[in-house]
Structure 1
Amino acid sequence: MNCLATFPLLLFLISLFTSSSAASFEVHNNCPYTVWAAATPVGGGRRLDQGQSWSINAPSGTTAARIWGRTNCTFDGSGSGSCQTGDCGGALQCTGWGKPPNTLAEYALNQFNNNVDFFDISLVDGFNIPMSFGPTTPGPHKCHQISCTADINGQCPAALKVPRGCNSPCTAFGTPGYCCTNGPCAPTDYSRFFKNSCPDAYSFPQDDATSTFACPAGSTDYRVVFCP
């Protein structure tokens, strides 16, 4: 066998293996209205009418990732426009984070020596759409579906209420105590409102103990549902 001749093929096969998806994410819209789904750093954006789904393949090692829904959007043929909630710089294809308030599905893949995927639902940027998020097949311990389905928009405190959404206190007031920018911070009356409404979700930036979930890396796929 000519080893030199087979070397390019070997490199090609290695590249296929190393760039293969660590996890797939099915994003499904069950809301009775259109949601413009967004995902960064992998995915971009997609219009989802009621009942439609979108599949995202995320590479191994993807971190600081989030999926969210945008509401009341208008885009032209070039993908430029705006959304009432969750807007990402006026683009259909998001490359940065969305403008609060937006309910977030967050994840980091293949962490801790490629053994663990971490995921959560976060209300740190407020709330706009009910959501569930989790593995398509439940696994051990904290590897199971989580959700935030309370009527937060309807029950939102007056100081946080905005059209089609409920701001976080950090977005509304911008103070270190609410934004946790000066070291350790504690729950507030506003974060307790979010936590009581959605116990599985992050209610303020340091709400890790009850809000972070994990599944085995490399063998788990996930599903995000708007209005589950």
Structure 2
Amino acid sequence: MAASSSWILLLLAATFTASASAATFTIKNNCGFTPPMTLAEFTIGGSQDFYDISVIDGFNIGMAFSCSTGVGLVCRDSSCPDAYHQPNDMKTHACGGNSNYQVTFCP
């Protein structure tokens, strides 16, 4: 799928390939969006990027999520303190625009 210059991405545990320079993502073995699922969420494209981990829809796999200019988040179980558990938890973090991201499943 193609992405515009400012976009939001929800990443769940599925095999995918990505090209930041072409702003395209290809999902393989699409598992669908059936809860429970741990999500890495980020909004990029401005002077700041925003990112978080969410277990609002449930937890299915551990995840570490880091930004090259921000805080690293780790979620190994359903009670992890770094993740959103409710929509108003205030767990979103910011980093500089054009940052690099790393998502690790089962950290």
Indicate whether the TM-score tops 0.5.
yes
The structure where helix makes up a greater share of residues is 1
| Cα displacement string for residues 141-183 of structure 1 (whole angstroms, at most 9, x for unaligned residues) | xx12101013x4xxxxxxxxxxxxxxxxxxxxxxxxxxxxxxx
Hey, what's the Cα distance between the residues in 2 that align with 1:134 and 1:214?
Answer: 11
Hey, what's the Cα distance between the residues in 2 that align with 1:116 and 1:101?
Answer: 30
**% of aligned pairs identical?**
40
Q: Which ranges of 4 or more aligned residues in structure 1 deviate by more than 6 Å? A: none
Q: How does 1:157-196 map to 2 (within 5 A)?
A: none
Which amino acid in 1 is paired with 2:73? Answer: I
Structure 1 residue aligned with 2:42, among 104, 107, 110?
107
The alpha carbon displacement at 1:207 in A equals 1.3
Q: How does 1:15-164 map to 2 (within 5 A)?
A: 60-63=5-8, 65-69=9-13, 92-93=29-30, 98-110=33-45, 114-135=46-67, 137=68, 139=69, 143-150=70-77, 152=78
The alpha-carbon distance between structure 1 residues 121 and 108, as it changes in their structure 2 partners (threshold 3 A), is same
The answer to whether 1:207 aligns with 2:89 is yes
Structure 1: stretches of 5+ with no match in the other structure: 1-40, 43-57, 71-90, 153-196
The alpha carbon displacement at 1:93 in A equals 4.1
Secondary structure of 2:43's partner? Answer: strand
| Number of residue equivalences | 94
Which amino acid in 1 is paired with 2:85? Answer: S
TM-score by structure 1 length?
0.38
The alpha carbon displacement at 1:59 in A equals 5.3
Q: Which has the higher contact order (CA 8 A, sep 6+)?
A: 2
The answer to whether 1:224 aligns with 2:103 is yes
Compare CA radii of gyration and give the structure with the larger one: 1
**What RMSD over aligned residues (CA atoms) do the two structures have, in Å?**
2.2
Hey, what's the Cα distance between the residues in 2 that align with 1:227 and 1:149?
Answer: 7
